[in-house]
């Protein structure tokens, strides 16, 4: 372990276990630590390094933009062409009519901004009661004060006094069939029951009080949750009937991760609002976007005129260097057919991950495209999870020791989300690393937790 660097406060870290690995450089899908050890980046950093490390085209686009215009803000009527070009490019790709793009710097900021825009829209259209937002119980949508309220993971709320009730956040059951279905219930029946539960919630609260339902098409930090095929189409139809906007959090799923341009397409739902980030620039420069339909934007124009300004924005909204990076990333994705590549190689990755389903500690293997998870359970026959996250932590440590960087999410689900550029041969390499790591982890888990295992 490296000596503690006490001047740094680390994000999403156990403060007693800081500085476990010091990454100094990257190349393609691999990164190297200070000792020279090579790791396969099995989670694309944090679900974001789609084009891997050291992409010369991205570096050159960023460098050229730095030399031309290193910074300019977008307040008070100022603009720049690279920001306009990026917005136009995104609008041409998005399944939202006459999409309007607000640029920010992270997924949390994009979701926070959307909450504010929904409130603005509700107020200026004479619907001040329409402020509630429905989110899943195990959702992850960010960590700013407002976006953390959308998040449903206890660790992101503990000690922070997150204003969930004050912001009108309601909860729906996470559509995870493996843990949520009743005895004898099919996936379709499970999906229908959960959608009916959401409808009852809407009717109980009053449809006129609910602005939106937010969801990741495939849940990331929630455990790579893949809903039954029937769930999202049925949910979308029901929300439309009640005038509730479906808000797709595409921060992880967007730009090819599930094998389509957007995860909404993969799961068969039509979004009315979208949040984008991560693969938007392949993580080379932070950038994100909150997307609303043109009809919503039009209702906000005259009120902003009366107020003097639309009073929301960030110093780095539409940073020209970040916009240049995102534009180049879009060009590469399109030119190199990386969304189709993710679908093809992703199907192979899902097939290889599926080989672990017979392991005595593996309860479920799930995923779409190039995102997947292997969930470790204490009792396979009864689908009983481990009572805490120790098994996942052990597996994550063993993977690191075997040269694979992954992340345990939702306790004991080992998540896989490699760069989109990964090849079938590199998938094989990743699976072989995980196979060895899982064998080592199994020995440790059996030794340290014998009273839990069945």
Per residue in 109-158, pLDDT (tens digit) is 999 999 999 999 999 999 999 999 999 999 999 999 999 999 999 999 99
Same domain? For 235 and 372 the reply is no
pLDDT for 6 equals 73
Are the CB atoms for 398 and 416 separated by under 8 Å? no
**Residue 454: pLDDT band by 50, 70, 90 thresholds?**
low
> Band of the pLDDT at 5, cuts 50, 70, 90?
low
| Percent of the chain as helix, strand, coil, to the nearest 5 | 45, 15, 40
User: Stretch 376-388: mean pLDDT, rounded?
Assistant: 93
- Strands 132-136 and 245-249 come out as unpaired
Asked if residue 377 and residue 322 are part of one domain, the reply reads no
**Which domain does 357 fall in, by range?**
337-448
Together in a domain, 324 and 350: no
Is 121 within a domain? yes
Q: Tell me how far CA of residue 409 lies from CA of 26, 269, 353, 399, 403, in angstroms.
A: 24, 25, 16, 14, 19
Q: What is the pLDDT of residue 1?
A: 47
Average pLDDT over residues 277-297: 98
In a domain, 29, yes or no: no
Helix or strand holding residue 344 (H, E)? helix 338-353
Q: For tokens 């739902």, name the residue.
A: 269
Q: Terminal CA-to-CA distance of the chain, rounded, Å?
A: 34
When pLDDT is cut at 50, 70 and 90, the band that residue 256 belongs to is very high
Cβ 38 vs Cβ 53: under 8 Å: no
The first and second tokens of residue 248, run together, are: 């797709």
Name the region of 365 (left: φ>0; alpha: ψ -120 to 50; beta: rest).
beta
pLDDT tens sequence across 58-110:
999 999 999 999 999 999 999 999 999 999 999 999 999 999 999 999 999 99
The total number of structural domains that make up the chain? 2
By the 8 A CB rule, do 257 and 420 touch? yes
Is the same domain home to 230 and 244?
Answer: yes
Does residue 354 share a domain with residue 313? no
Decide: 297 and 114 in contact? Cβ < 8 Å: no
Q: Are residues 217 and 125 in the same domain?
A: yes
What was the pLDDT predicted at 17? Answer: 87
Residue 38 lies in a domain: no
Residue 430 structure tokens: 């990743």
Range list of β-strands (E), 202-343? 210-215, 245-249, 273-276, 288-292
| Max CA separation in the chain (angstroms) | 68
Which secondary structure element, helix H or strand E, spans residue 39, and what is its range? strand 38-41
Q: What secondary structure letter does DSSP report for 259?
A: S
Asked whether residue 84 is domain-assigned, the answer is yes
CATH number (domain holding residue 374): 3.90.1150.10
| Domain CATH number, residue 218 | 3.40.640.10
Q: Please tell me whether residues 167 and 70 are part of one structural domain.
A: yes
pTM of the model: 0.96
């Amino acid at each position: 372990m490296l000596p503690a660097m006490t001047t740094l406060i680390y994000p999403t870290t156990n403060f007693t276990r800081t500085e476990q690995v010091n990454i100094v450089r990257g190349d393609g899908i691999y990164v190297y630590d200070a000792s020279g050890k090579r790791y396969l980046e099995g989670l694309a950093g944090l679900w974001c390094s789609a084009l891997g490390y050291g992409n010369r085209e991205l570096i050159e686009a960023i460098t050229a933009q730095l030399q031309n215009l290193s910074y300019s803000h977008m307040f008070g009527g100022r603009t720049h062409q690279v920001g306009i070009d990026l917005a136009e490019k995104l609008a041409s790709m998005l399944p939202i009519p006459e999409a309007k793009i607000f640029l920010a710097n992270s997924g949390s900021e994009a979701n926070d901004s959307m909450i504010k825009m929904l409130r603005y829209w509700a107020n200026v259209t004479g619907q001040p009661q329409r402020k509630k937002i429905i989110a899943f119980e195990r959702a992850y949508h960010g960590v700013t004060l407002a976006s953390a309220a959308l998040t449903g993971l206890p660790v992101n709320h503990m000690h922070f006094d997150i204003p969930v009730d004050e912001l009108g956040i309601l909860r729906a059951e996470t559509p995870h069939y493996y843990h949520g279905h009743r005895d004898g219930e099919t996936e379709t029946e499970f999906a229908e029951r959960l959608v009916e539960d959401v409808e009852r919630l809407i009717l109980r609260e009053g449809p006129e009080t609910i602005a939106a339902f937010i969801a990741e098409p495939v849940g990331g930090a929630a455990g790579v949750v893949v809903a039954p095929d029937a769930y999202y189409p049925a949910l979308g139809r029901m929300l439309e009937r009640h005038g509730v906007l479906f808000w797709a959090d595409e921060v992880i799923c967007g730009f090819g991760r599930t094998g389509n341009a957007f995860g909404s397409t993969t799961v068969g739902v039509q979004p009315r609002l979208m949040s984008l980030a991560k693969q938007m620039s392949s993580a080379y420069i932070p950038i994100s976007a909150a997307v609303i339909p043109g009809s919503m934007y039009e209702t906000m124009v005259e009120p902003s005129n009366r107020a003097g300004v639309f009073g929301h924005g960030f110093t780095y909204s539409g940073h020209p260097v970040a916009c240049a990076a995102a534009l180049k990333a879009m060009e590469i994705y399109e030119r190199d057919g990386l969304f189709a590549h993710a679908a093809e190689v992703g199907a192979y990755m899902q097939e290889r991950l599926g080989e672990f389903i017979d392991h005595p500690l593996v309860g479920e293997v799930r995923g779409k495209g190039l995102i997947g998870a292997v969930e470790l359970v204490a009792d396979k026959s009864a689908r009983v999870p481990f009572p805490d996250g120790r098994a996942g932590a052990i597996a994550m440590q063993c993977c690191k020791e075997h040269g694979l960087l992954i992340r345990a999410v939702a306790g004991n689900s080992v998540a896989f989300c490699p760069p989109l550029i990964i090849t079938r041969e590199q998938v094989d390499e990743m699976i072989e690393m995980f196979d060895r790591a899982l064998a080592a982890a199994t020995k440790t888990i059996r030794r340290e937790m014998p009273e839990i295992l069945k």
